[in-house]
Amino acid sequence: MTRDPVSITCTDLTLRFPVYGADAKSLKKALARVVAVGGALGRHAGVTDVTALQSVNLRLKAGDRLGLIGHNGSGKTTLLRALSGAYEPDEGTIEVHGRIAALLDLGLGIDPTATGLENIRLRGRIAGLTAREVEERMEEITTFTGLGPFLAMPVKTYSAGMQARLAFAAATAVEADVLLMDEWIAVGDAEFQRLAHKRLLKLVERAGILVLATHEVPLLKLYCNKVMRLDGGVASEIVDIRKLDELLAA
**pLDDT for 97-140, tens place per residue?**
999 998 888 877 789 999 999 999 998 888 888 899 999 999 99
CB atoms closer than 10 angstroms to residue 171:
25
Inform me whether the pLDDT recorded for 224 exceeds 70: yes
Q: Which domains does the chain have, with CATH numbers?
A: 7-99+212-249 (3.40.50.300)
Inform me whether the pLDDT recorded for 25 exceeds 60: no
Given this model, what pLDDT does residue 175 score?
A: 81
Q: How confident is the model at residue 250 (pLDDT cuts 50, 70, 90)?
A: confident
Q: What is the pLDDT of residues 168-182, one digit of tens each?
A: 999 898 888 999 999
Given this model, what pLDDT does residue 232 score?
A: 92
**Alpha-carbon gap, residue 184 to 169, rounded angstroms:** 15
Q: How confident is the model at residue 184 (pLDDT cuts 50, 70, 90)?
A: confident
CA dihedral 237, 183, 70, 99 (to 10 degrees): 30
Q: How confident is the model at residue 24 (pLDDT cuts 50, 70, 90)?
A: very low
Looking at per-residue confidence, does 12 or 24 come out higher?
Answer: 12
Q: Is 43 exposed, middle or buried (0-12, 13-18, 19+ CB in 10 A)?
A: exposed
Find out whether 212 and 184 touch, Cβ atoms under 8 Å: yes
Q: How confident is the model at residue 11 (pLDDT cuts 50, 70, 90)?
A: very high
Average pLDDT over residues 191-216: 92
Given this model, what pLDDT does residue 186 score?
A: 81
Looking at per-residue confidence, does 188 or 12 come out higher?
Answer: 12
Given this model, what pLDDT does residue 59 score?
A: 97
Sign of CA dihedral 184, 190, 194, 199: negative
Question: Which range among 28-32, 107-111, 126-130, 227-231 shows the weakest confidence by mean pLDDT?
Answer: 28-32
